[in-house]
C-alpha cells in the first residue's frame, strides 16, 4: 500500500484525525510555553551545545562506541555489536534463551519497534509485554506506534476500553481512571513475574559508560529493577562523548517532547547490580544496533543521525496532523520518518514517501531541538530519486518538456497559447472544475483558474505601447 492509500484510509476515520490533531496541538503549545519559560537566549544556547555534542559523537562514532563498550564491560556488562535488524533481534532472542528467560517486560523503545523485536520474540515462543501505557495499548491492538512520543494518540478512551475488555474477557469501563488502574494492575503482575527486562536508551555516554533512560510513567524503573536480566537495545547513533554533554540534551528532550521541564523519571545505568544490592539486574546485556545507520554516516544525510526522537517535528508537521502516524507505513512517522524510513529501509522501496508526505514548509527544521534540516534532507532524497531514476518515466518527461518549453520566453508564450486552447473545453466563468491528468489531482479537490486571455506580459506590452504613444504624442 502507498502513503496516499494509507492516508486516504486514515482520513476516513474522523475520530483518529481529531484525536491526532488535538494531541499534536497540545504538544506544540506546551513546547512553545516551555521554551518561552527558559527564554530565547537559553534555548539557543542549549540547542547549540546539544547539537555540537551530537555532531562530535557522530563524527567519531567508532571511537566513542569502543570507549562506551570498554567502560561498561569493566563493570561486568556484556556488549554486542549487530549489523542488521534481524541480527539484533536474534541476539536479543539468544540472550533471553541462554539465560533461561521466558517472560519479558519492555519499556518504550523506538529502536526495538524498528527491529520488529516483539515479533521475533513471540516467534521464538517467548512472552513479551510492552509496559509504557501507550505501547501496551498498541500492542493489544497490533498497531505500529502512531507517534514517537505518544504511540496511542489516535485512540480514544472507548477504543482503549474495548481493547482492555478483550484482554480481560469482560467489559472494562471507559473512565480514564478505571483504565489507568486496569493497566497498573495488569502490568504490575507482568513486572513482578518477568525474568527479562528490555529497554531502549535515550543517551549513551562514552566517557562513563552510562545508559540514560527517560520516562514519565516510571515503567523503565520497574523494568530495570525487577527482572533478573536486563537487555538494553541501543541505536549506534545514541552516543554522546561526555557525561556533561547530556546536560543540554536532557534539558531539551522533555521540553521539546511534551513541554515538561524534565520527565518524571530519568535513569542512569552504569552496570549490573552489585552483590550487596537487593534489586536491579544480575546481568546487563547491551545490544548496539546498526540496521542501516552506518550507511548514512559520511553522506549528505548524516545529519539525520542527530535525531533524539522527541517528536517535535511530528507535532508541527501540517501533513502528519492530517493523516496520523500509520499513513507513513513504518516505525517512524512525520518528517523524521519521511527522511529515516527511506534511508534505513532503502530508497528504492520507499521512493514515494519523500515526494508525497511533505509540502516542504520547513516547520520541522524550526521545531527540531537539534536543528536538523529535515526539509533539506527531504529535498536531497527527492534529488536522489531523480538521479537514481526512481521516479516514473512519465514524470521525468513532463519535467523535461516543461523545462524545454519554459526555458525561453518565446516557447513560454507559445506554451501559454497552447494551454489557453487546451483549457477551452473545460473552462466555465474563468474556472476549470475538471481536467484530465496530470491536472486531475488539482481539480478533484479544487477549482483551477484559467490561463488568462491577457497575461501580465500582454498587459505590460499594451501599457508600454499606450504610454509610448502618449509620450510620442
Footprint of another protein on residues 186-245 (CB under 8 A)?
Answer: 187-188, 191-192, 205, 207-208, 210, 216-219, 221-222, 224-226, 243-244
**Taking CB under 8 A as the rule, does residue 298 contact another protein?**
no
Question: Of 34-63, which residues contact another protein (CB under 8 A)?
Answer: none
Question: Of 444-473, which residues contact another protein (CB under 8 A)?
Answer: 444-452, 454-460
Sheet with 127-130, side-by-side order of all strands: 78-82, 283-289, 229-235, 196-199, 103-106, 127-130
Nearer to another protein, 222 or 307 (CB): 222
Q: Is 436 exposed, middle or buried (0-12, 13-18, 19+ CB in 10 A)?
A: exposed
- 132 neighbors 310 (Cβ within 8 angstroms): no
Nearest-approach distance from CB 290 to another protein, in angstroms: 26
CA-CA distance, 361 to 175, in Å (whole number)?
Answer: 39
Among 115, 358, 368, 377, binds another protein (CB under 8 A): 358
- 287 neighbors 231 (Cβ within 8 angstroms): yes
Question: Of 309-348, which residues contact another protein (CB under 8 A)?
Answer: 316, 318-319, 322-323
Nearer to another protein, 87 or 302 (CB): 302
Those residues with Cβ within 8 angstroms of residue 447's Cβ, 6 or more apart along the chain or in another chain? 431, 432, 433
Nearer to another protein, 83 or 184 (CB): 184
Question: Of 66-85, which residues contact another protein (CB under 8 A)?
Answer: 75
For residue 47, which of 270, 312, 293, 238 has the smallest C-alpha distance? 312
Nearest-approach distance from CB 89 to another protein, in angstroms: 25
CB atoms under 10 Å from CB of 169, counted, come to: 6
**Taking CB under 8 A as the rule, does residue 276 contact another protein?**
yes
The span of 51-59, 122-130, 146-154, 339-347 binding another protein (CB under 8 A) equals 146-154
123 to 88, 109, 118, 133, 237: CA distances (angstroms): 15, 19, 8, 23, 28
Q: How many CA atoms lie within 13 A of 77 on its CB side?
A: 27
The span of 20-28, 50-58, 120-128, 295-303 binding another protein (CB under 8 A) equals 20-28
**Taking CB under 8 A as the rule, does residue 392 contact another protein?**
no
Question: Of 85-124, which residues contact another protein (CB under 8 A)?
Answer: none
CA-CA distance, 433 to 326, in Å (whole number)?
Answer: 32
Among 84, 298, 442, 465, binds another protein (CB under 8 A): 442
Query: Phi and psi of 171, rounded to 5°?
Result: -60, 145
CA-CA distance, 119 to 223, in Å (whole number)?
Answer: 20
**Taking CB under 8 A as the rule, does residue 365 contact another protein?**
yes
Nearer to another protein, 54 or 365 (CB): 365
Nearer to another protein, 123 or 398 (CB): 398
Strand partners, 289: 82, 235
Q: Label residue 280 left, alpha or beta by phi (over 0 means left) and psi (-120 to 50 means alpha).
A: left
**Taking CB under 8 A as the rule, does residue 357 contact another protein?**
yes
| Helix axes 61-74 and 40-59, enclosed angle (nearest 10) | 90
Among 95, 104, 128, 183, binds another protein (CB under 8 A): 183
Nearer to another protein, 93 or 161 (CB): 161
Nearest-approach distance from CB 61 to another protein, in angstroms: 21
Nearest-approach distance from CB 52 to another protein, in angstroms: 16
Among 166, 184, 389, 467, binds another protein (CB under 8 A): 184
Question: Of 394-423, which residues contact another protein (CB under 8 A)?
Answer: 395-396, 399-400, 402-403, 406-409, 412, 416, 419
CA-CA distance, 412 to 36, in Å (whole number)?
Answer: 49
Amino acid at each position: 500500500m502507498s502513503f496516499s492509500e494509507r492516508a486516504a484510509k486514515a482520513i476516513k476515520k474522523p475520530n483518529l484525525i481529531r484525536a491526532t490533531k488535538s494531541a499534536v496541538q497540545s504538544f506544540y503549545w506546551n513546547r512553545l510555553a516551555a521554551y518561552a519559560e527558559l527564554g530565547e537566549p537559553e534555548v539557543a544556547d542549549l540547542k547549540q551545545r546539544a547539537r555540537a555534542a551530537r555532531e562530535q559523537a557522530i563524527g567519531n562514532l567508532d571511537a566513542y562506541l569502543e570507549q562506551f563498550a570498554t567502560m561498561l564491560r569493566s563493570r561486568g556488562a556484556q556488549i554486542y555489536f549487530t549489523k542488521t535488524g534481524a541480527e539484533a533481534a536474534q541476539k536479543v532472542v539468544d540472550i533471553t534463551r541462554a539465560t533461561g528467560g521466558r517472560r519479558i517486560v519492555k519499556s518504550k523503545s523506538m529502536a526495538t519497534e524498528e527491529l520488529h523485536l516483539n515479533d521475533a520474540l513471540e516467534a521464538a515462543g517467548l512472552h513479551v509485554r510492552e509496559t509504557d501505557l501507550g505501547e501496551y495499548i498498541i500492542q493489544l491492538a497490533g498497531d505500529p506506534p502512531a507517534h514517537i512520543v505518544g504511540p496511542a494518540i489516535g485512540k480514544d478512551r472507548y477504543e482503549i476500553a474495548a481493547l482492555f475488555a478483550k484482554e480481560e474477557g469482560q467489559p472494562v469501563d471507559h473512565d480514564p481512571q478505571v483504565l489507568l488502574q486496569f493497566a497498573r494492575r495488569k502490568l504490575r503482575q507482568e513486572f513482578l513475574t518477568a525474568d527479562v527486562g528490555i529497554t531502549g536508551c535515550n543517551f549513551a555516554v562514552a566517557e562513563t559508560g552510562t545508559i540514560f533512560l527517560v520516562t514519565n510513567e516510571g515503567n523503565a524503573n520497574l523494568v530495570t529493577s525487577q527482572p533478573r536480566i536486563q537487555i538494553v537495545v541501543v541505536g549506534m547513533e545514541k552516543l554522546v562523548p561526555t557525561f556533561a554533554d547530556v546536560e543540554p540534551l536532557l534539558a531539551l528532550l522533555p521540553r521539546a517532547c511534551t513541554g515538561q521541564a524534565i520527565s518524571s523519571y530519568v535513569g542512569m545505568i552504569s552496570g549490573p547490580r552489585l552483590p550487596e544490592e537487593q534489586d536491579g539486574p544480575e546481568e546487563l546485556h547491551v545490544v548496539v544496533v546498526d540496521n542501516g545507520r552506518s550507511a548514512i554516516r559520511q553522506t549528505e544525510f548524516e545529519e539525520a543521525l542527530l535525531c533524539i526522537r522527541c517528536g517535535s517535528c511530528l507535532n508541527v508537521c501540517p501533513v502528519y496532523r492530517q493523516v496520523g502516524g500509520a499513513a507513513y507505513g513504518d516505525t517512524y512517522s512525520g518528517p523524521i520518518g519521511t527522511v529515516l524510513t527511506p534511508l534505513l529501509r532503502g530508497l528504492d522501496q520507499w521512493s514515494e514517501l519523500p515526494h508525497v508526505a511533505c509540502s516542504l514548509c520547513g516547520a520541522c527544521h524550526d521545531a527540531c531541538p537539534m536543528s536538523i534540516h529535515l526539509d533539506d534532507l527531504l529535498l536531497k532524497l527527492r534529488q536522489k530519486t531523480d538521479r537514481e531514476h526512481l521516479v516514473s518515466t512519465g514524470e521525468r518527461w513532463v519535467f523535461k518538456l516543461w523545462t524545454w518549453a519554459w526555458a525561453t520566453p518565446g516557447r513560454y508564450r507559445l506554451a501559454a497559447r497552447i494551454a489557453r486552447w487546451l483549457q477551452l473545453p473545460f473552462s466555465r466563468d474563468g474556472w476549470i472544475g475538471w481536467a484530465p491528468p496530470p491536472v486531475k489531482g488539482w481539480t478533484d479537490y479544487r477549482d483551477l483558474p484559467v490561463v488568462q486571455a491577457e497575461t501580465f506580459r500582454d498587459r505590460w506590452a499594451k501599457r508600454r505601447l499606450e504610454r509610448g504613444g502618449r509620450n510620442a504624442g
